[in-house]
């Protein structure tokens, strides 16, 4: 088995060498896809562009993880950084008659030149998500912080130069029901800052959008929210699974969805589709999506997905020797995409049309105070302040390393915020309230609050009030030259005010007994404990003396 794999890799490397030579001779740079109103256009000829695409993101199977000898650099597989994967699959992608792939995660530290050029040579564009599984906007505890911001910037910097990069997704299904609509302001802030970053760096104007789910209670407000106001998304994708098997335009829900998006001011498309309740999937929705009734509103869509995995949504299966087998779903999708021929409009004609003239930007956003199922403020979070947050690590007396155990970190936050005022790190997407340090990383936020507790206790020792290997005393905080060297006077004063001020009316949460037994927290103050012990002893002696006299 291993010999076969080694031989396969050798063959692929030879192919890669040949492909690189050919690419140097026959490089094809695709024209940029641009947005005008609610449509995509080929910038070279003004033809309307429709996505005929597929999601393309392999993952490691349980068997692969169990049998692995070495550790992996990332938890995910970047298919655009591995020529062995992408060059193997591009002929199949071309056979499917597609022009776009969606990739959910890439490694910005790797080169993507070979795969992006090979895709370009075959006329294939890429839609790319900016997040990765461990660095993304969490719908349950949303934040737009310096770590996510850095990840987004790194991806942009590594991919902006490719003309076949169609656009970026700033989020995917971050709000997925009525319980987490307050997470959407953080995605909208990301869209705002990413667009500003692209402009500030002098990159070409790369579209930035959002990919939503199709939840009945939130879909109308979500669509309106991301297309309204000053910081609207450039495009809007919907992960649509309403059509299963041999459904129809009228019975699937497609008719209602199409009517809802008539006059929508930005391009809208299916960022995923392909219900798998019936397999093999006939993909009959393709003919409706690209037909006359829908193509005037929708800009195509992307089937989910290329690789067959545990969730059974794939159209090909990759075996242990990295060979590819087409599944029955592949043949159906190939046939449907091959027949799809939407009647688009030329850019010039569209600009002069009544439809374009009637198109209006949504000025008014959904108002959460008047809606039961919508709690997303229109006051979106500020841009992450990298300098201010990094200054914390230079100034604070107590610092924190990232925790592998999220529950342990949460436990410490709960404890410390019972002793000090943590409002300066809170971020509330419902009421639009964002603390001074709300955009800092979680370990920076925790360090700030532990440092407050350190100062509150007044211990003049190099020892933080929480005993944990991830919490340590910052010797640099005592060196004024280092403090002023990296932080502005204003930032320094802001941090000092935050950790020195003793807020009033803080509710003191008692330390749980089991937490004390595990000794994750140091005792609050040696002086206070001694005083209590001394007072207790005097009381005990006095009591014994009185009892002796009575008896």
Specify the CATH number for the domain of residue 483: 1.20.58.1040
Distance of alpha carbon 459 from the chain centroid? 41
| Residue 272 a catalytic site member | yes
239 and 306 inside one domain: yes
Answer yes or no: do 416 and 354 share one domain. Answer: no
Asked whether 291 and 339 are in contact (CB, 8 A), the reply is no
Q: Does the residue 369 lie in any domain? A: no
**Residue 163 belongs to a domain:** yes
> Which residues neighbour 113 within 8 Å (Cβ) at sequence distance 6 or greater?
none
- Rounded to a whole number of angstroms, the distance between the first and last alpha carbons of the chain is 91
Strand partners, 307: 316
3-state helix, strand, coil in the chain (%, to 5): 40, 15, 45
Same domain assignment for residues 84 and 203:
yes
Residue ending a domain, among 322, 342, 358, is 358
Gap between the Cα atoms of 193 and 148, Å rounded: 12
Does a structural domain hold residue 342?
yes
173 is catalytic: yes
Q: Which domain holds residue 131?
A: 33-358
C-alpha span between 330 and 340 (Å, rounded): 15
Output the CA angle 334-340-344, nearest 5 degrees: 150
- Distance of alpha carbon 34 from alpha carbon 3, whole angstroms: 48
Whether 403 maps to a domain, the answer reads yes
Which residue in 132, 173, 336, 393 is the catalytic one? 173
Q: What is the pLDDT of residue 328?
A: 98
**pLDDT value of position 484:** 57
Catalytic residue among 132, 272, 285, 336: 272
Phi, psi of 159 (to 5 degrees): -125, -10
Is residue 365 situated within a structural domain? no
User: Are residues 259 and 125 both part of a single domain?
Assistant: yes
| Residue written as token pair 């829908």 | 294
User: Taking a C-beta distance cutoff of 8 angstroms, is the pair 486, 413 a contact?
Assistant: no
Q: What DSSP string runs through 466-518? A: B--TTEEE-GGGG-HHHHHHHS-HHHHHHHHHHHH---SS---PPPPHHHHHH
Domain boundary among 309, 340, 358: 358
Angular region, 312: left φ>0, alpha ψ -120 to 50, beta rest: left
Q: Give the end of a domain, one of 481, 500, 519.
A: 500
Structural domain tally of the chain?
2
Question: Which among 464, 451, 449 has a CA at the least distance from the CA of 418?
Answer: 449
Among residues 313, 298, 246, the alpha carbon closest in space to that of 51 is found at 298
C-alpha atoms less than 13 angstroms from C-alpha of 123 in its C-beta half-sphere: 11
Which of 176, 232, 185 is CA-nearest to residue 207? Answer: 232
Closest CA to 235 of 31, 34, 30: 34
CATH of the domain at 139: 3.20.20.80
Spatial separation of the C-alpha atoms in residues 457 and 289, rounded to whole Å? 65
- Whether residue 406 sits in one domain with residue 351: no
Are residues 178 and 310 located together in one domain of the fold? yes
How far apart are the C-alpha atoms of 218 and 180, rounded to whole Å?
A: 10
CB-CB neighbours of 508 under 10 Å: 7
94: enclosing H helix or E strand: helix 83-95
Query: Whose structure tokens read 């014994």?
Result: 544
Do residue 353 and residue 415 come from a single domain?
no
Token pair for residue 37? Answer: 């109103």
Q: Tell which residue, 307, 237, 230, has the closest CA to residue 267.
A: 237
* Neighbouring residues of 32: CB distance < 8 A, sequence distance ≥ 6: 43, 163, 204
Which run of H or E residues covers position 399? strand 398-400
Domain-located, residue 523: no
Alpha carbons 339 and 126: distance in angstroms, whole number:
22
pTM attached to this predicted model: 0.86
292 in the same domain as 410 = no
Q: Supply the Cα-derived Rg of the chain in whole angstroms.
A: 29
What is the predicted pLDDT for the residue at 501?
55
**Co-location of 318 and 398 in the same domain:** no
What is the spatial distance between Cα 269 and Cα 238, in angstroms, rounded to a whole number?
6
User: How many whole angstroms separate alpha carbon 143 and alpha carbon 441?
Assistant: 9
The Cα 345–Cα 245 span in angstroms is 30
Task: Report if residue 547 sits inside a domain.
Answer: no
Instruction: Note the pLDDT of residue 99.
Output: 98
Residues 273 and 225 placed together within one structural domain of the fold = yes
If asked whether residues 347 and 430 sit together in one domain, one would say no
Residue 527: partners with Cβ closer than 8 Å, 6 or more residues away: none
Q: Are residues 108 and 46 in the same domain?
A: yes
Number of Cβ within 10 Å of residue 526's Cβ equals 13
The residues with which 234 forms a beta bridge, in sequence order, are none
Give the span between the Cα atoms of 460 and 397, in whole angstroms.
11
Q: What is the mean pLDDT of each run of 10 residues along the chain (551 residues)?
A: 44 45 64 98 98 95 55 82 98 98 98 98 98 96 98 98 98 98 98 98 98 97 97 98 97 98 97 97 98 98 97 95 96 98 97 93 87 94 97 94 93 96 97 97 97 88 92 84 69 88 44 35 36 40 42 41
Domain assignment present for 414: yes
């Amino acid at each position: 088995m291993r010999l076969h794999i080694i031989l396969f890799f050798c063959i692929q490397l030879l192919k890669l060498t040949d492909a690189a030579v050919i690419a140097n001779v026959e490089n094809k740079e695709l024209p940029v896809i641009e947005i005008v109103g609610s449509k995509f256009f080929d910038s070279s000829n003004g033809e309307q562009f429709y996505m005929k695409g597929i999601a393309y993101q392999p993952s490691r199977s349980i068997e692969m993880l169990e049998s692995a000898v070495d550790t992996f650099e990332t938890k995910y597989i970047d298919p655009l950084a591995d020529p062995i994967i992408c060059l193997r699959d591009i002929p199949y992608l071309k056979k499917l008659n597609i022009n776009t792939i969606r990739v959910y995660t890439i490694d910005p530290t790797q080169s993507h030149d070979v795969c992006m050029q090979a895709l370009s040579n075959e006329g294939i564009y890429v839609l790319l998500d900016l997040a990765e599984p461990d660095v993304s906007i969490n719908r349950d505890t949303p934040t737009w912080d310096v770590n996510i911001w850095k990840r987004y910037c790194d991806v942009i910097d590594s991919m902006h130069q490719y003309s076949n990069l169609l656009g970026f997704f700033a989020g995917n299904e971050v709000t997925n029901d009525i319980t987490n609509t307050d997470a959407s302001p953080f995605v909208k802030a990301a869209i705002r800052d990413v667009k500003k970053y692209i402009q500030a760096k002098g990159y070409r104007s790369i579209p930035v959008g959002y990919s939503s789910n199709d939840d009945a209670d939130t879909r109308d407000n979500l669509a309106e929210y991301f297309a309204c106001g000053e910081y609207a998304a450039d495009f809007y994708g919907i992960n649509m699974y309403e059509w299963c098997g041999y459904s129809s335009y009228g019975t699937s829900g497609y008719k209602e969805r199409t009517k809802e998006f008539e006059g929508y001011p930005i391009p809208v498309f299916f960022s995923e589709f392909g219900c798998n309740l019936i397999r093999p999937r006939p993909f009959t929705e393709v003919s409706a999506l690209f037909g006359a009734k829908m193509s005037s509103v929708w800009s195509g869509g992307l089937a989910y997905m290329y690789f067959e995995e545990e969730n059974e949504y794939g159209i090909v299966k990759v075996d242990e020797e990295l060979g590819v087998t087409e599944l029955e779903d592949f043949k159906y999708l190939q046939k449907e995409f091959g027949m799809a021929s939407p009647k688009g409009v030329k850019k010039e004609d569209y600009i002069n049309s009544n439809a374009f003239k009637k198109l209006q930007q949504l000025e008014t956003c959904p108002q959460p105070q008047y809606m039961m199922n919508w709690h997303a403020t229109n006051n979106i979070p500020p841009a992450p302040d990298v300098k201010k947050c990094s200054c914390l690590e230079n100034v604070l007396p107590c610092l924190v390393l990232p925790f592998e155990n999220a529950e342990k970190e949460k436990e410490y936050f709960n404890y410390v915020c019972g002793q000090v005022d943590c409002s300066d790190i809170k971020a509330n997407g419902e009421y639009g309230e964002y603390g001074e340090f709300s955009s800092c990383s979680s370990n920076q936020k925790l360090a700030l609050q532990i440092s407050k507790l350190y100062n509150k206790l007044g211990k003049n020792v190099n020892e933080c009030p929480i005993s944990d290997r991830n919490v340590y005393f910052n010797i640099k905080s005592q060196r004024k030259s280092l403090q002023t060297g990296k932080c502005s006077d204003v930032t320094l004063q802001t941090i000092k005010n935050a950790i020195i001020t003793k807020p009033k009316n803080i509710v003191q949460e008692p330390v749980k007994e089991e937490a004390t037994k595990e000794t994750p927290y140091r005792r609050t103050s040696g002086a206070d404990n001694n005083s209590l012990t001394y007072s207790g002893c005097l009381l005990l002696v006095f009591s014994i003396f009185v009892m002796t006299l009575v008896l």
